[in-house]
């Protein structure tokens, strides 16, 4: 049987994006490495006006369906661990609260808490995330569970911040 990773080429733009610029090729915790690789991009995106941030994140989700589908098809494996574009989009969704509330990106407690919450929801997959993960396939399925994880983590981040007194 062919190793699916042998079918990946970072010269292929679909593969490059799907693997989070190679971060998903990490032999340990590729999803976490993919989310970590999404952080510097978030720090850049968060400087955009909020409507532009939303457009970029929505486009990353829509285009992500194709990115993940093409790479999954090329690897002949559904949702291989090295495909982490969904983590990029999901994390950016989680962190949407930061530019929405004009929170300075230097407020590291937001970034760290958002990172931890997104990874928690993405790994544990509470309902409906796990349900979606098992029932929706293809590029949409790869993206959808992380989109919902991002939404749930974002709501939780807001609640943590509110009750911790991070917002004035």
Report d(CA 123, CA 140) in Å as an integer: 18
Q: What share of the chain is helix, strand, coil (3-state, %, to 5)?
A: 70, 0, 30
In a domain, 3, yes or no: no
Predicted confidence pLDDT, tens digits, the chain (168 residues)? 789 999 999 999 999 999 999 999 999 999 999 999 999 999 999 999 999 999 999 999 999 999 999 999 999 999 999 999 999 999 999 999 999 999 999 999 999 999 999 999 999 999 999 999 999 999 999 999 999 999 999 999 999 999 999 986
φ, ψ at 79 (rounded to 5°): 55, 50
pLDDT at 1: 72
The SS3 assignment for 141 reads: helix
Structural domain count of the chain: 1
Report d(CA 30, CA 18) in Å as an integer: 12
This model's pTM is above 0.95: yes
In a domain, 44, yes or no: yes
pLDDT at 168: 67
Residues 26/130/45/156 CA torsion (nearest 10 deg): -120
The two three-digit tokens of residue 121, written as one number: 């929801």
In a domain, 131, yes or no: yes
In a domain, 7, yes or no: no
The two three-digit tokens of residue 159, written as one number: 């609640």
Structural domain including 22 reads: 18-163
The two three-digit tokens of residue 4, written as one number: 């699916």
In a domain, 125, yes or no: yes
In a domain, 103, yes or no: yes
The separation between the first and the last C-alpha atoms of the chain, rounded to the nearest angstrom, is: 57
In a domain, 43, yes or no: yes
pLDDT at 71: 98
Report d(CA 86, CA 61) in Å as an integer: 8
In a domain, 22, yes or no: yes
């Amino acid at each position: 049987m062919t190793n699916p990773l042998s079918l990946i080429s970072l010269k292929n733009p679909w593969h490059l994006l799907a693997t989070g610029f190679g971060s998903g090729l990490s032999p340990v915790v590729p999803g976490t490495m993919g989310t970590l690789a999404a952080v510097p991009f978030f720090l850049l995106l968060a400087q955009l006006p909020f409507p532009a941030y939303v457009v970029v994140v929505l486009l990353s989700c829509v285009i992500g369906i194709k990115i993940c589908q093409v790479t999954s098809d090329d690897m002949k494996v559904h949702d291989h661990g090295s495909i982490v574009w969904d983590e990029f989009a999901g994390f950016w969704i989680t962190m949407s609260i930061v530019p929405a509330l004009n929170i300075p990106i230097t407020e590291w407690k937001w970034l760290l808490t958002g990172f931890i919450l997104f990874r928690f929801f993405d790994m544990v997959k509470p309902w409906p995330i796990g349900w979606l993960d098992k029932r929706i396939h293809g590029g949409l399925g790869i993206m959808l569970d992380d989109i919902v994880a991002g939404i749930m983590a974002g709501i939780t981040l807001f609640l943590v911040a509110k009750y911790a007194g991070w917002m004035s």
